[in-house]
Amino acid sequence: MDRFAQCAFSWIACDAVLIFVAAATLMFAFSFDPVLALKIGAGIALAFSLRLIHRLSQLHRKGICHTEVWQLMRPEELPREAPAIRDAQERLETMLLRFAKGASGVSVGLFGSAFLMSLN
């Protein structure tokens, strides 16, 4: 994994950890009603997934040079040639889609758990 991929992964993972902490805090605050707590966590996971998809659409519309990852890196660490830039954009797209897929999976699991708990 090159420097750009490491920076992109760290950027997305940091966002995911912050969202997880916020969701866990809200779920704990509403732990008196477990179904509501699960729905809150699922809603936050779904919102994070949609945010990642929005970032992906921004990446397609504006290009990789306008992403936070690109702007955070030092100029000597950035890819220079056109094939390297295309490869970096493809890797960032793949990472965004994988994290979005994981977040939507968590959302489905939490919504499913809330539904099953509400049936009892």
- Give the model's confidence band at 79: pLDDT under 50 very low, under 70 low, under 90 confident, else very high: confident
Locate the domains of the chain by residue range.
Answer: 3-119
Q: 22-41: per-residue pLDDT in tens? A: 999 999 999 999 999 999 99
Structure tokens at 87: 């490869």
Is pTM beyond 0.75? Reply is yes
Per-residue pLDDT band at 1 (split at 50, 70, 90): low
Q: What is the mean pLDDT of residues 29-55?
A: 95
Residue 15 is predicted with a pLDDT of 94
